[in-house]
Amino acid sequence: MIVIVIVGVLSALSMSMYRTAVRKAKYTGAKIWLKRIFQACEEFYYDCGCYPPDVNPDICPPGLCPEYLEHWPKASRDPFGAMYDYESHNGTAGKCVGVTYLGKDKQHELQWVWGFNHGTVGQILEIPTGDDLFIVIAQGIQTCQ
């Protein structure tokens, strides 16, 4: 009986550790996509002299795909079914550009202001009030019209 209890406890612990490892792996994939988008935006900027304008979530910014990024990471291809949102907003330092990954809850925590104020260009941040990730693409710039 004691052996069965021990095996049960070890099984429960290993399942919890397995779920945590799977979740981390899925978020690692999202971080890789954020870095790829960042690099594509940098190449776009060097060629065009501006960053693409703001678009709705789950849509590739105009001119970025497929020239600089083979495709936009669609929610249908994401392990959580979450979207990526390319954002361009006015901040204290001028126009700021970044990308939010909406995470497993698929809800937009709308923390880009926090991200622009706490992040540096190219840095991936974990939004503290939810499960979103955010990368700062550029600050104090102009977007293409």
Which residue range forms the structural domain that includes residue 73? 2-141
The reported pLDDT for the residue numbered 70 is: 92
The reported pLDDT for the residue numbered 45 is: 93
List pLDDT tens digits, range 14-23: 666 666 666 6
Q: In what order do the strands lie in the sheet with 94-101?
A: 84-91, 94-101, 133-141, 124-126
Question: What pTM did the predictor assign?
Answer: 0.80
Asked if residues 137 and 38 have their Cβ atoms less than 8 Å apart, the reply is yes
Residues of the chain with pLDDT under 50: none
Query: What's the CA gap between 135 and 40, in Å, rounded?
Result: 13
Split into its structural domains, the chain has a count of: 1
The reported pLDDT for the residue numbered 35 is: 95
